[in-house]
Amino acid sequence: MSSIDHTHDAAATSWVEGADTHADFPVQNLPLGIFSTANRERRVGTAVGDSVLDLSGMAEDRLLPGNLRAALGAGTLNALFALSASDRISLRHAVFAHLTELSSRMEVLPHLYPAQACTMHLPFAIGDYTDFYVGIHHATNIGKQFRPDNPLLPNYKYVPIGYHGRASSVRLSGTPVVRPKGQQKPSYSEGPGYGPTYRLDYELELGVWIAGENALGEPVPIGKAASRIGGLCLLNDWSARDLQAWEYQPLGPFLAKNFLTSVSPWVITAEALAPFRVAQPPRPAGDPAPLPYLLDAADQAEGAFALTLETWIATQKMREAGIPPHRLGTGPATSMYWTVAQLVAHHTANGCNLMPGDLLGTGTISTPDTSGLGSLMELSQGGNSPVTLPDGEERSFLEDGDELILSARAARDGFRTIGFGLCSGVVEAAKV
Ligand code: CA
């Protein structure tokens, strides 16, 4: 597991203007992403304050470790995350030194761009995307709507439930959500119809970017699974609840989910998150212990993350009236029944190979009470109890023009708070 070092020192400061006061990207964060500018093709960058540092250009100018030059010139992060964690730590140390030491300023400045002048791109060429279901309060809330007396199915506390999603429709934050069409069968209707979803929803999730590779047939033991966590992002698993209700049995989600999955542009690295590892909350009395292949003392001691997740909505009317986004919920990321390392160990337990740049979604993360519910399906209790917004509008599900925004911050006493940036999307009308 990544360890805490001088790059996490809360007293460290950067010569980059605005970095020390930036809510998300002080020099202790150093997230990785892919950006382009008007004159430059896709490059590897890091966010520092309101600037983006061109790491590909830094490598070309021999300002970064030479063994990283090829990976930093690749136009995606796949090659960098195929390298060892120690290579990424050496990159972090070099970038941290350049951004904190005033003597580096003159040679680094030509590689610094205003974030506003940069276009962000998907950080990885994503080979595969898997979505899990670890938010136990979400699973309980949704289960109650279908099975009030028995919300969790018998396998839930033994198996990290997941399904294979679709990688081709994973897109960067900011991509519009075109209202999908599909089959729906309302309870009052005898047969299904086809048309635009009338129950469009979001799902607040964390994304896990995979580092390294295990050969086909070789499981990753739970004790080594943390080394496969390259970093985290925000993930919105947009969902069409009416399509989902009609299609999900017996094989699970399909067209209700694969029309779009949004991710935030910056990879918050495992190294940056080292100070924010916390113990996995103990399971309630009476729950089964994880089977041995999912149980590791170090993972239980520090396999969870001290993150606060938030969800915001801004309708078209709100934006036009200058009303700021309304917070729909806030809660901790510790409401996960399984750690991210357990997801990796389980995913590979049968010998399935995970590749650099593969994406795992945790599943919707909700609080046990109503303060931090991760979907409108929960907030509106299946559409029966609409949410009232500051301008008097009501929402049971998302309407055209709505913008949905996810954010996350990692905070812990004694350390500089870091943020994930935003993951957002505006709903557009269905195509005719
Ligand atoms: Ca999901």
Tokens of 141: 């809330």
Q: What is the pLDDT of residue 147?
A: 84
Task: State the pTM of this model.
Answer: 0.98
The mean pLDDT of 49-74, rounded to a whole number, is 97
Q: What is the pLDDT of residues 75-107, one digit of tens each?
A: 999 999 999 999 999 999 999 999 999 999 999
370 close to 364: Cβ distance less than 8 angstroms: no
Cα–ligand 1 centroid distance for 207 (angstroms): 11
CA of 224 to the centre of ligand 1 (A): 26
pLDDT of residue 1: 61
The candidate with the shortest Cα–Cα distance to 339, out of 237, 249, 179, 228, is 228
Find the 297 Cα to ligand 1 centroid distance in Å.
28
* Catalytic member of 138, 326, 346, 347: 138
Under 8 Å between Cβ of 267 and 230: yes
Q: What is the pLDDT of residues 326-359, one digit of tens each?
A: 999 999 999 999 999 999 999 999 999 999 999 9
408 contacts 419 by C-beta, under 8 angstroms: yes
Domain residue ranges in the chain:
6-121, 129-428
Assigned CATH class of 6-121: mainly beta
Distance 63 CA to ligand 1 centre (A): 41
pLDDT value at position 297?
98
Element (H, E) at 87: helix 85-100
- Does residue 137 carry a catalytic annotation? no
Domain 129-428 annotated CATH 3.30.365.10: no
Q: What is the overall mean pLDDT for the chain? A: 97
Residue 325 has pLDDT above 70, yes or no: yes
Ligand 1 centroid to Cα of residue 140, in Å, is 14
Mean pLDDT within 236-265? 96
Measured CA angle at 239 (ends 352, 143), to 5 deg: 80
Q: How far is the CA of 132 from the centre of ligand 1 (A)?
A: 7
Please answer whether residues 94 and 72 qualify as being in contact, where contact means their C-beta atoms are separated by less than 8 angstroms: no
Question: What pLDDT is attached to residue 149?
Answer: 87
**So what's the pLDDT on residue 145?**
87
pLDDT digits (tens, 9 = 90+) for 163-214: 999 999 999 999 999 999 999 998 899 999 999 999 999 999 999 999 999 9
Residue 164, strand partner residues = 130
Say what the pLDDT of residue 363 is: 98
Compute the distance from residue 261 Cα to the ligand 1 centre, in Å.
Answer: 9
Residue 308: φ, ψ to 5°: -110, 125
pLDDT-derived band at 146 (thresholds 50, 70, 90) equals confident
Distance CA 201, CA 366 (A): 14
32 three-class SS: strand
